[in-house]
Amino acid sequence: MHTLKVTLLDLSTPAWRLLRVPSAITLSALHAVIQVAMGWENRHLHQWRVGDIVYAPAGEEDWGDHVADEAVAVLGELAGVDSVFRYDYDLGDGWEHLVEVVAVEPYDGSVPPVAVLGGARSAPPEDSGGPSGYEHLLDALEDPDDPEHDELQAWVGDGFDPDFFDPGRVNRQMQALWRT
C-alpha cells in the first residue's frame, strides 16, 4: 500500500489530501482516485510527470510520441517511499498537484484499499481560471462590493465553501468508485 499526500500547488492556502492506494494501482486508476478525492469532475486533460517521463492517456492525438501510457504505468514500480512527482489537471487552467509518497507498507486486508485519510480545503470549482483565477474568485466572493461578487456567487452557488472538506463523503464516493 502507498500512502500519498496530494497537494494542489500555487494557492495561498493549498488544498491537500492524504490517500491510501494499492501499490499496484496504475496511474490511470490513480487519476480517477485523485479526481474523486479532490472533487474534480474529470472534464479536462491530465498528465503525470515522474522524473523525466510524462505519462498520459493513450490515444490522445495531441500528446505526440514522447508520452508514455498511464494505463500500464504502475505506481509501485515508479515511486518508492519519499518519491515526489506531479499530476497536472486541466492543462488550460494549469492545476498542478504535488504527489509525495509518504509511506509504502504491506497490505493486510483489514482496511479498504482506497481511502482518504485526511485533507484540508475544497478544491477550486472546475473552470475557475487556474490559481490566479481562483484567488480572484475567492477575493470577489469575500467582498460584497466587488463588481463581480453577485455573478460569481451565483456561478459557484450558495453551498461553496473553500475551507470545507468532508472526508467521510469522499470516502463513500471512493468506495463506490473502487467497487465499479
Q: CA dist 21 to 34, 83, 99, 127, 174, Å?
A: 10, 15, 13, 28, 11
What are the cell numbers at 65?
510520441
Ramachandran sector of residue 82 (left: φ over 0; alpha: ψ -120 to 50; beta: rest): left
Using the structure block, give the residue that is written with the C-alpha cell 490559481. Answer: 131
What is the tens place of the pLDDT at every residue in 35-76? 999 999 888 999 999 999 999 998 765 655 688 999 999 999
Specify the pLDDT at position 17.
98
Specify the pLDDT at position 13.
87
Q: Is residue 134 domain-resident?
A: no
Number of domains the chain is built from = 1
Does 175 have pLDDT greater than 90?
Answer: no
Q: Is residue 79 domain-resident?
A: yes
Q: Which of 26, 57, 50, 54 is nearest to 99 (CA)?
A: 50
CATH number assigned to the domain comprising residue 174: 3.10.290.30
Using the structure block, give the residue that is written with the C-alpha cell 496511474. Answer: 27
Q: Is residue 113 domain-resident?
A: yes
Q: Is residue 130 domain-resident?
A: no
String of b and e for 32-52 (b: at least 16 CB within 10 Å)? bbbbbbbbbeeeeebbbebee
Rounded to whole angstroms, the Cα distance separating 176 from 180 reads 7
Domain that holds residue 113: 2-121+163-179
Specify the pLDDT at position 178.
73
Q: Is residue 143 domain-resident?
A: no
Specify the pLDDT at position 66.
80
Q: Is residue 148 domain-resident?
A: no
Q: Is residue 131 domain-resident?
A: no
Q: What is the pTM of this model?
A: 0.91
Specify the pLDDT at position 180.
53
Specify the pLDDT at position 63.
58
Specify the pLDDT at position 170.
93
Specify the pLDDT at position 92.
86
Does 103 have pLDDT greater than 70?
Answer: yes
What is the tens place of the pLDDT at every residue in 113-168? 999 999 999 989 988 989 999 999 999 999 999 999 899 999 988 888 999 999 99
Are 28 and 71 within 8 A, CB to CB?
A: yes
What is the tens place of the pLDDT at every residue in 2-33? 999 999 999 988 899 999 999 999 999 999 99
Specify the pLDDT at position 65.
63
Specify the pLDDT at position 60.
63
Q: Is residue 117 domain-resident?
A: yes
Specify the pLDDT at position 177.
76
